[in-house]
Structure 1
Amino acid sequence: MAQAWRCKGLRWSADGPELAWSGGRRSSLTWGKRVAFAVAEGGARTCVGARGHACPLRATVPGRSTGARCEECARLDRAHSVAADTIADDPRPYHVYLAWFGPGMTKVGITALERGSARLLEQGAICFTWLGAGPLMAARRTEELLRAALRVPDRIPYADKRAVRSALPTSAEERATEVTSLHARAVALPGWPESLTPAPCQPVDHAGVFGLADLPPAVGAVAELVAGGVVSGRLVAAAGPDLHLDTGGEGDGGLGGEGGGGVVVVDTRLMTGWELVPAGGVGGVTVPVREFGERGVGVQDGLF
């Protein structure tokens, strides 16, 4: 019987994207690599716990939940989250940034200075620039200032990000236009906290890191994993938590088990909480897929 693995999601390292697994193992991902896994037969998706601790109830969680946590573990996770604005006394310095995900989709956010640009890679930011750095509450006030004065949101839905990745401007200069303009407007605003040090506009482009050059449009995205289901395809791009897999030529499975193939997006957050095994010779995608037609898919030392 093949060894089952529990995925902890997509991680971004200096060498590119990696899938992290329970026990500390990681699988490096390179363009063209075949990514193929099956959900263990008869299994159920269980809560991943919170703050590094296992769920005491091993509660079952819905297949479409990107958090993969039961209600109690989700509450505990939020209680210690800077993103949820539940921590006010974090002594670490923070960056304020502007991140661009596509035309008309720029957000403002904060991230701990020590994390560098990791948060931007995790969100799938195509282009970003720092706005400034300072204590947490000063960073928060600056974030609120931009949201109120410039109507810049602090969240962009992942579905919107995925919809435009294959149709982005071709040059880094064009991709940086919106963050450059917003940066100029932001630093001209009155009312910046004195303890926040402004940063010059220096756009950083991630299109090459994500492999987005000549990316084919996706035909759909995996909606959820199910026991016995298979996901198999050739990796053509990765951004944020998403893998873009070309399922063409992947056996008889096709898209959603109905043939046709094409590029399918897999949000790796949907993989957490499941026991996964190698797909063997089975190809294609046999789990539920949300199609994009309406919007615009020896000793075993690793799963693959």
Structure 2
Amino acid sequence: MGWLCGGLRWAEGRPALGWYGGGAVREDVRRVSELTYGGDVAFRVASAERRCVGARRGGCPLRAVVPGRSSGGQCAECARLDRSRSVAADTMADDPRPYAVYLAWFGPGMVKVGITADERGSARLLEQGAVTFTWLGRGPLMAARRTEELLRAALGVPDRIAYKDKRAVRAALPARTERAREIQEWHRRAGALAGWPESLERAPFEAVDHAGAFGLEGLRPMTGVVTELAPDAVVAGRLLAAAGPDLHLGTADGGVVVLDTRLMSGWELAGADGRAAGVSVPVKSMERGVQGGLF
């Protein structure tokens, strides 16, 4: 029985890879491989095709083949189903669960506002690769959504930051006190705005820092980014850091390659010899700014 990769998971603040067995992506047959900083990550692509991971991890009824460069790992129909059930699509206005509004910091001048189900705690922030964050308040879904829109309109705070921008600054972050100071100022500015929904309970400022959980202290600058996987391709390296869906891998030639684990979803993977394998996938060089060859 082959195992399909489900990408990176954050369990109790630690990174792990999720796996789905039986040739189909099914939530009830999942296993998890914990990842350790300083340990080896080495695998070979064992399948000839990449299969859709399905909607809400329920399995794709078409067993559709998806492109290697797709970060979502889904066919068009499963992606549409996921969007239709998402909070971002505003199709869940009757959701009775409380929601939390947060400010997330990814680097100097890189702050976004967002909402997450209160029961998920900081899981969403780990999944996004937020280096530092603070809560703004908690309340009903639509109150949280209105608060998010208020900050976007009044302060110009976006609700999305590209992963390529997040990973570009991870190796040159300011000190923890400076990170906290910047997001505290955004919290102050947000709290001074008029128009907050009365049903949203405001939260005092408290900076939560994920640099330790991500392994970012002393991180070397990346030299390349994996652009896609392919049949029989090999990726091997020493795990230096993990943030959001990204793994920062130290390679045998002294480089640091970033692997977006969303590119792994839907592939059947097998173990490889980390000492001899190297990296045999297309990598975009960050040193030259052009498409590199195979590392």
Q: Shorter-chain-normalised TM-score: which range?
A: over 0.9
Give the whole-Å Cα distance in 2 for the aligned partners of 1:15 and 1:146: 28
1:37 maps to 2:43: yes
1:226 maps to 2:224: no
Match of 2:283 among 281, 285, 289: 289
User: Displacement, 1:25?
Assistant: 1.2
**Preserved contact between residue 222 and residue 248 of structure 2 (Cα < 8 Å):** yes
Give the whole-Å Cα distance in 1 for the aligned partners of 2:286 and 2:195: 43
**Preserved contact between residue 13 and residue 213 of structure 2 (Cα < 8 Å):** no
1:15–1:183 CA distance, 2 compared to 1 (3 A): closer
1:73-152 equivalence runs, <5 A: 73-152=78-157
Unaligned runs of 5+ in 2: 21-28
Give the whole-Å Cα distance in 1 for the aligned partners of 2:13 and 2:133: 20
- Aligned letter for 2:178? E
Give the whole-Å Cα distance in 1 for the aligned partners of 2:283 and 2:269: 18
Which residue pairs with 2:258 in the alignment?
265
1:14-25 equivalence runs, <5 A: 14=12, 16-22=14-20, 23-25=29-31
- Aligned letter for 2:120? R
Give the whole-Å Cα distance in 1 for the aligned partners of 2:168 and 2:74: 27
Give the whole-Å Cα distance in 1 for the aligned partners of 2:59 and 2:250: 34
Which residue pairs with 2:51 in the alignment?
46
User: Displacement, 1:175?
Assistant: 1.1
Match of 2:11 among 1, 13, 22: 13
What's the CA shift string for 1:234-292, capped at 9, x where partnerless?
101000111111012xxxxxxxxxxx441101111100011111113642110111111
**Preserved contact between residue 13 and residue 126 of structure 2 (Cα < 8 Å):** no
Which residue pairs with 2:244 in the alignment?
240
Aligned CA-pair RMSD: 1.6
- Aligned letter for 2:103? L
**Preserved contact between residue 78 and residue 86 of structure 1 (Cα < 8 Å):** no
Give the whole-Å Cα distance in 2 for the aligned partners of 1:5 and 1:232: 19
Q: Once the two structures are aligned, what percentage of the paired residues are identical?
A: 67
Give the 4+ runs in structure 1 shifted more than 4 A. Answer: 294-297
Query: Which secondary structure state, in structure 1, belongs to the residue aligned with residue 6 of structure 2?
Result: strand
The 10-residue stretch of structure 1 (132-141 or 11-20) with the greater mean CA deviation from structure 2: 11-20
**Preserved contact between residue 180 and residue 203 of structure 1 (Cα < 8 Å):** yes
User: Displacement, 1:194?
Assistant: 0.4
1:54–1:133 CA distance, 2 compared to 1 (3 A): same
Which residue pairs with 1:251 in the alignment?
none
TM-score by length of 2: 0.92
1:153-302 equivalence runs, <5 A: 153-169=158-174, 171-248=175-252, 260-280=253-273, 282-294=276-288
Query: Which secondary structure state, in structure 2, belongs to the residue aligned with residue 83 of structure 1?
Result: helix
Give the whole-Å Cα distance in 1 for the aligned partners of 2:277 and 2:63: 31
Give the whole-Å Cα distance in 2 for the aligned partners of 1:54 and 1:18: 21
Q: Aligned pair count?
A: 282
Query: Which secondary structure state, in structure 1, belongs to the residue aligned with residue 30 of structure 2?
Result: coil
